[in-house]
Amino acid sequence: MWSKRSTPIKLALTVGAATGILVIAGCSDNSGGGHDMSQMSNTTTTAAAAAASGAAQTSVAFNEADVMFLQMMYPHHAQAVEMADMVEGRTTNPQVLELAGAVTSAQGPEMEQITSLLAQWGKPAPAADGGSMDGMDHGGGGTSGMMTAEQMTELAGKSGADFDTAWLTMMVEHHSGAIEMAQTELADGRNADAKQLATDVIGAQQAEITTMNALLQQN
C-alpha cells in the first residue's frame, strides 16, 4: 500500500520543487531587469543634465565682439535719447513727437539690458559719453552716426520746421550708424542675448529710418 501511494507523493514533490525553481528564476530575472532599467534611467538623466548645462553655457558665452558692441551701443543709445528729449518745446509736429517717444521707449530699456549683461560678464560699466567709441568713425560728423558736441548745440538752437528737418536728418544718420554696429555684432558676436539685441536694433531703427525719410521728403 505504501509503495502505491509514494508515487503520487513523489510526483507532487517534484512538481512543487520545479515550480519553486521557476519562481526563483523569475525573481532573479526581474531583479536583473530592474537593475538594467535603473542604469538606463541614470544614463538618460545624466545626458539630459549635460545637454542643459551645454545650453546654459552657450547662452552666457561671449567674446570681445559682444563686449565691444554693448560698450559702444550704450553711449549711442544715450545720445539718441538726448536727441529725443530735445523735441519737447521745439516742435509741434505730431509725427516727430511720436518718433521721439518711440526712440525713448525702445532705447531706454535696452540701455538697462546692456548694463545688466556687461555686469554679468564682469565687464566695466558702459560710458555714456561715447569715450569707448573712439576710432569707430563711419563718416559724417561723429563716430558710428554719433553727433559732435557742436552739432548737438546747433540742434538745440533750432525750432519749428528747421528743427524738424535737422532732427530727422541727424537721427537718420544716427540710426544708420547703430544698424552698422548691430550688423557687425551679428557677424562677429557669440552671445545669444547680445545678438538678439542687435536684431531688435536693426528691425526697429530701420523702420524708423523709413518713416523719417518719408517725412523729410514732405518738408
% of the chain at pLDDT higher than 90: 63
Domain definitions of the chain by residue range: 1-59, 61-218
137 phi/psi in degrees, rounded to 5 = -70, 125
pLDDT tens-digit map of 114-134: 999 999 999 998 888 754 444
CB burial of residue 19 (10 Å; 0-12, 13-18, 19+): exposed
Per the rule left: phi > 0, alpha: psi between -120 and 50, beta: everything else, 21 is alpha
pLDDT of 57 reads 52
Q: Give the predicted TM-score (pTM) of the model.
A: 0.70
* Three cell numbers, residue 25: 528564476
Name the packing angle between helices 94-120 and 160-188 (round to 10°): 30
- pLDDT higher than threshold 70 for residue 163: yes
pLDDT tens-digit map of 19-73: 444 333 444 444 444 445 555 455 555 555 555 555 445 457 999 999 999 999 9
pLDDT tens-digit map of 187-212: 999 999 999 999 999 999 999 999 99
Q: For domain 61-218, give the CATH superfamily.
A: Ferritin, core subunit, four-helix bundle (1.20.1260.10)
Question: What letter would DSSP give residue 133?
Answer: G
Give the best-scoring range by mean pLDDT among 9-13, 134-138, 155-159: 155-159
Location of C-alpha cell 545678438: 195
Mean pLDDT of 7-13: 40
